[in-house]
Amino acid sequence: MELKERFLKYVAFDTQSDPGSETFPSTAKQLALLNHLMEEMIGLGLTEVEIDPNGYVMGSIPASPGYEDKPVIGFISHVDTSPDMKGAEIRPQVIGHYDGGDIVLNGELVMRVAEFPELAFFKGHTLITTDGTTLLGADDKAGVAEIMTAAEYLMTHPEWKHGKIRIGFTPDEEIGRGVDFFDVERFGARFAYTVDGGFEGELEYENFNAAGVKITIQGRNIHPGYAKDKMINALQVACDLHALLPAVQRPEHTEGYEGFYHLTSLSGTVEQARMEYIVRDHSRERFEAKKKYLADAVALLAERYGEGVVSLEIWDQYYNMREMVEPYPEVIAKAEQAMEMAGVVPVIRPIRGGTDGARLSYMGLPCPNLFTGGMNFHGKYEYCSLDTMYKAVQTILNLAKLWGE
Protein backbone atom coordinates (compact mmCIF):
# COMPACT_ATOMS: atom_id res chain seq x y z
CA MET A 1 0.00 0.00 0.00
CA GLU A 2 1.31 3.45 -0.88
CA LEU A 3 2.14 5.85 1.95
CA LYS A 4 -0.49 8.43 0.96
CA GLU A 5 -3.22 5.81 0.64
CA ARG A 6 -2.28 4.33 4.01
CA PHE A 7 -2.27 7.71 5.75
CA LEU A 8 -5.64 8.76 4.30
CA LYS A 9 -7.09 5.42 5.35
CA TYR A 10 -5.92 5.88 8.93
CA VAL A 11 -7.17 9.45 9.32
CA ALA A 12 -10.65 8.25 8.34
CA PHE A 13 -10.79 6.49 11.74
CA ASP A 14 -12.13 8.70 14.53
CA THR A 15 -9.70 7.99 17.37
CA GLN A 16 -10.13 11.02 19.61
CA SER A 17 -9.18 10.37 23.24
CA ASP A 18 -11.16 11.68 26.22
CA PRO A 19 -9.44 13.12 29.32
CA GLY A 20 -12.67 12.82 31.29
CA SER A 21 -12.96 9.09 30.82
CA GLU A 22 -11.93 6.62 33.50
CA THR A 23 -11.57 3.68 31.09
CA PHE A 24 -8.43 2.55 29.26
CA PRO A 25 -8.29 3.25 26.43
CA SER A 26 -10.31 6.35 27.21
CA THR A 27 -12.49 5.80 24.13
CA ALA A 28 -13.49 2.49 22.58
CA LYS A 29 -13.26 3.95 19.08
CA GLN A 30 -9.46 3.95 19.30
CA LEU A 31 -9.64 0.15 19.31
CA ALA A 32 -11.08 0.15 15.78
CA LEU A 33 -7.81 1.46 14.34
CA LEU A 34 -5.66 -0.54 16.75
CA ASN A 35 -7.39 -3.78 15.70
CA HIS A 36 -7.07 -2.77 12.06
CA LEU A 37 -3.33 -2.27 12.53
CA MET A 38 -3.02 -5.67 14.16
CA GLU A 39 -4.75 -7.31 11.20
CA GLU A 40 -2.63 -5.34 8.74
CA MET A 41 0.58 -6.38 10.52
CA ILE A 42 -0.49 -10.02 10.36
CA GLY A 43 -1.27 -9.59 6.67
CA LEU A 44 2.21 -8.20 6.04
CA GLY A 45 3.76 -11.27 7.66
CA LEU A 46 5.01 -9.72 10.89
CA THR A 47 5.47 -12.12 13.79
CA GLU A 48 4.52 -11.97 17.48
CA VAL A 49 1.60 -9.70 16.58
CA GLU A 50 -0.81 -9.10 19.44
CA ILE A 51 -3.19 -6.63 21.01
CA ASP A 52 -3.30 -6.77 24.80
CA PRO A 53 -6.32 -6.06 27.04
CA ASN A 54 -5.31 -2.40 27.27
CA GLY A 55 -5.24 -1.90 23.51
CA TYR A 56 -1.47 -1.88 22.97
CA VAL A 57 -0.53 -3.40 19.63
CA MET A 58 2.91 -4.96 19.23
CA GLY A 59 4.57 -6.95 16.50
CA SER A 60 7.98 -8.00 15.23
CA ILE A 61 9.92 -7.83 12.00
CA PRO A 62 12.23 -10.82 12.33
CA ALA A 63 15.97 -10.30 12.02
CA SER A 64 17.63 -11.02 8.69
CA PRO A 65 19.36 -14.42 8.77
CA GLY A 66 22.69 -14.00 10.50
CA TYR A 67 21.64 -10.76 12.19
CA GLU A 68 19.87 -12.29 15.17
CA ASP A 69 22.57 -11.07 17.58
CA LYS A 70 22.10 -7.41 16.71
CA PRO A 71 20.38 -5.05 19.20
CA VAL A 72 16.59 -5.14 19.07
CA ILE A 73 15.24 -1.70 18.29
CA GLY A 74 11.67 -0.43 18.28
CA PHE A 75 9.48 2.16 16.60
CA ILE A 76 6.41 3.49 18.41
CA SER A 77 3.53 5.83 17.52
CA HIS A 78 0.16 6.65 19.04
CA VAL A 79 -3.20 6.33 17.31
CA ASP A 80 -5.32 8.78 19.30
CA THR A 81 -5.99 12.35 18.24
CA SER A 82 -6.30 15.41 20.45
CA PRO A 83 -9.56 16.17 22.29
CA ASP A 84 -8.92 19.86 21.52
CA MET A 85 -10.57 19.67 18.08
CA LYS A 86 -13.13 17.54 16.26
CA GLY A 87 -11.50 14.36 14.94
CA ALA A 88 -14.42 12.78 13.10
CA GLU A 89 -15.55 13.17 9.48
CA ILE A 90 -12.12 14.38 8.41
CA ARG A 91 -12.04 15.47 4.77
CA PRO A 92 -8.38 15.82 3.77
CA GLN A 93 -7.38 18.00 0.84
CA VAL A 94 -4.35 17.03 -1.22
CA ILE A 95 -2.37 19.86 -2.81
CA GLY A 96 0.11 18.68 -5.41
CA HIS A 97 3.27 20.73 -6.01
CA TYR A 98 2.37 23.44 -3.50
CA ASP A 99 3.11 26.87 -5.02
CA GLY A 100 4.17 28.55 -1.77
CA GLY A 101 1.11 30.80 -1.46
CA ASP A 102 -1.84 31.06 0.90
CA ILE A 103 -3.95 27.89 1.13
CA VAL A 104 -7.74 28.11 0.97
CA LEU A 105 -9.14 25.52 3.37
CA ASN A 106 -12.77 26.45 2.74
CA GLY A 107 -14.90 29.42 1.75
CA GLU A 108 -14.29 31.12 5.10
CA LEU A 109 -10.84 29.97 6.20
CA VAL A 110 -7.44 30.59 4.66
CA MET A 111 -4.06 29.41 5.93
CA ARG A 112 -1.87 32.44 5.24
CA VAL A 113 1.88 32.34 4.77
CA ALA A 114 2.15 35.57 6.77
CA GLU A 115 0.73 33.73 9.80
CA PHE A 116 2.46 30.40 9.13
CA PRO A 117 5.82 31.38 7.58
CA GLU A 118 7.20 27.83 7.76
CA LEU A 119 4.97 27.07 4.74
CA ALA A 120 7.71 28.57 2.59
CA PHE A 121 9.88 25.51 3.29
CA PHE A 122 7.28 23.25 1.69
CA LYS A 123 7.09 24.97 -1.70
CA GLY A 124 7.03 22.24 -4.34
CA HIS A 125 5.89 19.56 -1.87
CA THR A 126 2.65 17.63 -1.92
CA LEU A 127 0.69 18.83 1.12
CA ILE A 128 -2.29 17.26 2.83
CA THR A 129 -4.48 19.72 4.74
CA THR A 130 -7.83 19.76 6.50
CA ASP A 131 -10.96 21.35 5.07
CA GLY A 132 -10.93 23.79 7.98
CA THR A 133 -13.60 22.04 10.06
CA THR A 134 -11.56 19.36 11.87
CA LEU A 135 -8.02 18.50 12.77
CA LEU A 136 -6.15 16.25 10.32
CA GLY A 137 -4.76 13.57 12.62
CA ALA A 138 -1.19 13.73 11.34
CA ASP A 139 -0.42 13.67 15.06
CA ASP A 140 0.25 10.87 15.05
CA LYS A 141 -1.24 8.92 12.18
CA ALA A 142 1.56 10.26 10.00
CA GLY A 143 3.96 8.39 12.29
CA VAL A 144 1.76 5.28 12.27
CA ALA A 145 1.63 5.31 8.45
CA GLU A 146 5.38 5.82 8.18
CA ILE A 147 6.18 2.93 10.50
CA MET A 148 3.76 0.61 8.69
CA THR A 149 5.10 1.62 5.27
CA ALA A 150 8.66 0.95 6.43
CA ALA A 151 7.55 -2.39 7.88
CA GLU A 152 5.99 -3.41 4.57
CA TYR A 153 9.22 -2.52 2.76
CA LEU A 154 11.38 -4.54 5.15
CA MET A 155 9.09 -7.55 4.89
CA THR A 156 9.25 -7.50 1.09
CA HIS A 157 12.93 -6.57 0.61
CA PRO A 158 15.10 -9.20 2.29
CA GLU A 159 18.19 -7.59 0.79
CA TRP A 160 17.80 -4.75 3.32
CA LYS A 161 19.63 -6.38 6.24
CA HIS A 162 18.67 -5.62 9.83
CA GLY A 163 18.31 -7.03 13.31
CA LYS A 164 14.99 -7.76 14.98
CA ILE A 165 12.65 -4.78 14.98
CA ARG A 166 9.72 -4.28 17.31
CA ILE A 167 6.73 -2.11 16.45
CA GLY A 168 4.30 -0.65 18.97
CA PHE A 169 1.13 1.39 18.71
CA THR A 170 -0.43 3.04 21.76
CA PRO A 171 -3.71 4.74 22.71
CA ASP A 172 -4.27 7.86 24.84
CA GLU A 173 -0.96 9.66 24.32
CA GLU A 174 -2.76 12.96 23.83
CA ILE A 175 -4.18 12.87 27.35
CA GLY A 176 -0.94 11.82 29.03
CA ARG A 177 -1.84 8.18 29.61
CA GLY A 178 -0.25 6.60 26.55
CA VAL A 179 2.15 4.28 28.35
CA ASP A 180 0.35 3.82 31.67
CA PHE A 181 0.20 0.06 31.06
CA PHE A 182 2.89 -0.37 28.39
CA ASP A 183 4.90 -3.52 29.10
CA VAL A 184 8.50 -2.51 28.35
CA GLU A 185 9.81 -5.96 29.18
CA ARG A 186 7.35 -7.62 26.82
CA PHE A 187 8.19 -5.12 24.08
CA GLY A 188 11.74 -6.35 24.42
CA ALA A 189 13.68 -3.62 22.63
CA ARG A 190 17.06 -2.28 23.78
CA PHE A 191 16.32 1.15 22.34
CA ALA A 192 13.33 2.67 20.56
CA TYR A 193 12.22 5.76 18.68
CA THR A 194 8.84 7.42 18.83
CA VAL A 195 7.86 8.70 15.40
CA ASP A 196 5.80 11.62 16.66
CA GLY A 197 7.66 14.82 15.77
CA GLY A 198 6.84 17.54 13.30
CA PHE A 199 9.10 19.57 11.03
CA GLU A 200 11.47 17.78 8.68
CA GLY A 201 14.65 16.75 10.47
CA GLU A 202 13.38 17.15 14.02
CA LEU A 203 15.32 14.91 16.39
CA GLU A 204 14.26 15.40 19.96
CA TYR A 205 15.52 13.97 23.19
CA GLU A 206 14.66 16.84 25.51
CA ASN A 207 11.09 17.49 26.54
CA PHE A 208 9.23 19.37 29.22
CA ASN A 209 8.93 18.29 32.79
CA ALA A 210 5.16 18.34 33.19
CA ALA A 211 2.57 18.69 35.93
CA GLY A 212 -1.21 18.86 35.96
CA VAL A 213 -3.12 21.16 38.30
CA LYS A 214 -6.73 21.29 39.51
CA ILE A 215 -7.94 24.14 41.70
CA THR A 216 -11.35 24.18 43.37
CA ILE A 217 -12.71 27.44 44.76
CA GLN A 218 -15.61 27.40 47.18
CA GLY A 219 -17.30 30.79 47.20
CA ARG A 220 -20.14 32.22 49.24
CA ASN A 221 -23.05 33.55 47.25
CA ILE A 222 -25.05 36.40 48.76
CA HIS A 223 -27.61 38.61 47.07
CA PRO A 224 -25.41 41.25 45.39
CA GLY A 225 -27.47 44.05 46.88
CA TYR A 226 -26.55 42.91 50.39
CA ALA A 227 -23.15 41.31 49.74
CA LYS A 228 -20.77 43.78 51.37
CA ASP A 229 -18.25 41.96 53.59
CA LYS A 230 -20.17 38.73 53.12
CA MET A 231 -19.90 37.54 49.53
CA ILE A 232 -16.91 35.51 48.31
CA ASN A 233 -17.16 35.43 44.53
CA ALA A 234 -15.45 32.22 43.40
CA LEU A 235 -14.98 33.61 39.89
CA GLN A 236 -13.22 36.69 41.28
CA VAL A 237 -10.93 34.49 43.36
CA ALA A 238 -10.09 32.60 40.18
CA CYS A 239 -9.23 35.87 38.46
CA ASP A 240 -7.09 36.89 41.43
CA LEU A 241 -5.18 33.63 41.27
CA HIS A 242 -4.54 33.87 37.54
CA ALA A 243 -3.33 37.45 37.98
CA LEU A 244 -0.75 36.29 40.53
CA LEU A 245 0.98 34.10 37.94
CA PRO A 246 3.55 35.83 35.73
CA ALA A 247 1.93 36.89 32.44
CA VAL A 248 5.25 36.50 30.60
CA GLN A 249 5.19 32.81 31.54
CA ARG A 250 2.13 31.96 29.46
CA PRO A 251 2.44 29.79 26.32
CA GLU A 252 1.77 32.70 23.97
CA HIS A 253 4.85 34.51 25.33
CA THR A 254 7.36 31.65 25.53
CA GLU A 255 9.59 29.63 23.21
CA GLY A 256 12.67 27.40 23.17
CA TYR A 257 13.58 26.32 26.68
CA GLU A 258 11.14 28.72 28.37
CA GLY A 259 8.48 27.08 30.50
CA PHE A 260 4.94 28.24 31.24
CA TYR A 261 1.73 28.11 33.23
CA HIS A 262 -1.21 27.35 30.93
CA LEU A 263 -4.81 27.83 32.05
CA THR A 264 -6.63 25.10 30.14
CA SER A 265 -10.06 25.25 31.78
CA LEU A 266 -12.11 27.71 33.84
CA SER A 267 -15.71 27.14 34.80
CA GLY A 268 -18.04 28.04 37.58
CA THR A 269 -20.38 30.46 39.28
CA VAL A 270 -20.20 32.86 42.20
CA GLU A 271 -20.70 29.87 44.51
CA GLN A 272 -18.04 27.56 43.11
CA ALA A 273 -15.38 27.61 40.40
CA ARG A 274 -12.85 25.18 39.00
CA MET A 275 -9.58 25.87 37.23
CA GLU A 276 -7.18 23.54 35.47
CA TYR A 277 -3.60 24.34 34.55
CA ILE A 278 -0.65 22.57 33.06
CA VAL A 279 2.83 23.55 34.24
CA ARG A 280 5.82 22.98 31.97
CA ASP A 281 9.59 23.56 32.05
CA HIS A 282 12.66 21.81 30.62
CA SER A 283 14.71 22.52 33.72
CA ARG A 284 13.83 20.34 36.71
CA GLU A 285 14.90 23.15 39.05
CA ARG A 286 12.66 25.72 37.35
CA PHE A 287 9.86 23.16 37.13
CA GLU A 288 9.93 22.61 40.88
CA ALA A 289 10.09 26.39 41.42
CA LYS A 290 7.03 26.92 39.22
CA LYS A 291 5.02 24.39 41.21
CA LYS A 292 6.08 26.02 44.47
CA TYR A 293 5.18 29.48 43.17
CA LEU A 294 1.71 28.24 42.26
CA ALA A 295 1.26 26.59 45.66
CA ASP A 296 2.40 29.80 47.36
CA ALA A 297 -0.13 31.80 45.32
CA VAL A 298 -2.91 29.47 46.45
CA ALA A 299 -1.71 29.78 50.06
CA LEU A 300 -1.78 33.57 49.79
CA LEU A 301 -5.38 33.52 48.61
CA ALA A 302 -6.32 31.04 51.33
CA GLU A 303 -4.91 33.50 53.85
CA ARG A 304 -6.83 36.36 52.23
CA TYR A 305 -10.21 34.63 51.86
CA GLY A 306 -10.11 32.08 54.64
CA GLU A 307 -9.60 28.39 55.16
CA GLY A 308 -11.41 26.02 52.80
CA VAL A 309 -12.00 28.56 50.04
CA VAL A 310 -9.16 27.48 47.71
CA SER A 311 -7.93 23.91 47.38
CA LEU A 312 -5.05 22.75 45.18
CA GLU A 313 -4.34 19.38 43.60
CA ILE A 314 -1.08 19.07 41.66
CA TRP A 315 0.61 15.99 40.23
CA ASP A 316 3.62 15.27 38.05
CA GLN A 317 2.85 13.82 34.63
CA TYR A 318 6.26 13.14 33.06
CA TYR A 319 9.86 14.30 33.13
CA ASN A 320 12.53 15.44 30.70
CA MET A 321 13.95 12.33 29.00
CA ARG A 322 17.37 13.91 28.40
CA GLU A 323 19.03 12.41 31.46
CA MET A 324 17.80 8.95 30.43
CA VAL A 325 18.93 9.23 26.79
CA GLU A 326 22.26 11.05 27.07
CA PRO A 327 24.10 8.02 28.54
CA TYR A 328 23.51 6.32 25.16
CA PRO A 329 24.95 8.76 22.58
CA GLU A 330 24.80 6.11 19.86
CA VAL A 331 20.99 6.34 19.87
CA ILE A 332 21.19 9.98 18.79
CA ALA A 333 24.24 9.54 16.54
CA LYS A 334 22.56 6.79 14.51
CA ALA A 335 19.40 8.88 14.14
CA GLU A 336 21.43 11.81 12.83
CA GLN A 337 23.25 9.53 10.38
CA ALA A 338 19.99 7.91 9.24
CA MET A 339 18.50 11.33 8.50
CA GLU A 340 21.56 12.48 6.57
CA MET A 341 21.44 9.28 4.49
CA ALA A 342 17.83 10.21 3.65
CA GLY A 343 18.84 13.70 2.53
CA VAL A 344 17.50 15.31 5.69
CA VAL A 345 19.30 17.94 7.76
CA PRO A 346 18.96 16.95 11.44
CA VAL A 347 17.41 19.64 13.62
CA ILE A 348 18.08 18.92 17.28
CA ARG A 349 15.91 21.02 19.53
CA PRO A 350 13.79 20.58 22.64
CA ILE A 351 10.24 19.31 22.41
CA ARG A 352 7.85 21.94 23.68
CA GLY A 353 5.56 19.17 24.80
CA GLY A 354 5.89 15.51 25.65
CA THR A 355 5.81 12.14 23.97
CA ASP A 356 5.28 8.57 25.04
CA GLY A 357 9.05 8.32 24.67
CA ALA A 358 9.64 10.62 27.64
CA ARG A 359 7.93 8.25 30.04
CA LEU A 360 9.26 5.15 28.29
CA SER A 361 12.79 6.48 28.79
CA TYR A 362 12.15 6.57 32.55
CA MET A 363 10.69 3.07 32.33
CA GLY A 364 14.01 1.73 31.02
CA LEU A 365 13.54 2.15 27.25
CA PRO A 366 15.60 5.12 25.97
CA CYS A 367 13.34 6.59 23.32
CA PRO A 368 14.07 9.85 21.43
CA ASN A 369 11.58 11.30 18.98
CA LEU A 370 11.76 11.49 15.17
CA PHE A 371 10.03 13.87 12.74
CA THR A 372 6.90 12.91 10.81
CA GLY A 373 6.30 15.88 8.51
CA GLY A 374 3.14 16.98 10.30
CA MET A 375 2.60 20.61 11.28
CA ASN A 376 0.17 22.74 13.33
CA PHE A 377 -1.06 19.80 15.35
CA HIS A 378 -4.37 19.75 17.26
CA GLY A 379 -6.30 22.20 15.12
CA LYS A 380 -7.94 23.08 11.82
CA TYR A 381 -4.67 24.41 10.37
CA GLU A 382 -2.97 21.03 10.73
CA TYR A 383 -1.25 19.72 7.60
CA CYS A 384 1.56 17.41 6.58
CA SER A 385 4.05 17.14 3.75
CA LEU A 386 3.92 13.86 1.85
CA ASP A 387 7.48 14.50 0.64
CA THR A 388 8.72 14.76 4.23
CA MET A 389 6.70 11.68 5.19
CA TYR A 390 8.61 9.68 2.57
CA LYS A 391 11.86 10.95 4.09
CA ALA A 392 10.66 9.79 7.50
CA VAL A 393 10.05 6.31 6.06
CA GLN A 394 13.56 6.32 4.62
CA THR A 395 14.98 7.43 7.97
CA ILE A 396 13.29 4.47 9.67
CA LEU A 397 14.71 2.11 7.05
CA ASN A 398 18.17 3.61 7.45
CA LEU A 399 17.99 3.18 11.23
CA ALA A 400 17.08 -0.48 10.75
CA LYS A 401 20.16 -0.93 8.58
CA LEU A 402 22.52 1.06 10.82
CA TRP A 403 21.56 -0.86 13.96
CA GLY A 404 22.21 -4.07 12.02
CA GLU A 405 25.80 -3.19 11.16
Among 80, 140, 172, 200, the active-site one is: 80
Catalytic annotation present for 14: no
CA 334 to CA 95: how far, in whole Å?
A: 33
Q: Which of 14, 173, 196, 356 is catalytic?
A: 173
Residue boundaries of the structural domains of the chain: 3-207+320-403, 209-318
Q: Which tens digits make up the pLDDT trace of 299-354?
A: 999 999 999 999 999 999 889 999 999 999 999 999 999 999 999 999 998 888 87
pLDDT in tens, 179-226: 999 999 999 999 999 999 999 999 999 999 999 999 999 999 999 999
What's residue 98's pLDDT? 97
The band of 355, judged by pLDDT with boundaries at 50, 70 and 90, is confident
pLDDT of res. 354 = 78
| pLDDT tens per residue across span 119-157 | 999 999 999 999 999 999 999 999 999 999 999 999 999
Residue 173 appears among annotated catalytic residues: yes
| pLDDT-based confidence at residue 159 (cuts at 50, 70, 90) | very high
Per-residue pLDDT, 353 = 81
Partners of 127 in beta bridges: 95, 385
Q: Domain 3-207+320-403's class?
A: alpha beta
**Residue scoring higher pLDDT (246 or 353):** 246
Domains 3-207+320-403 and 209-318 belong to one CATH topology: no
pTM: 0.87
Q: From 3.90.550.10, 3.30.70.360, 3.40.190.80, 1.10.3720.10, which CATH number describes the 209-318 domain?
A: 3.30.70.360
Q: Kindly indicate the confidence band of residue 260, based on its pLDDT and cuts at 50, 70 and 90.
A: very high
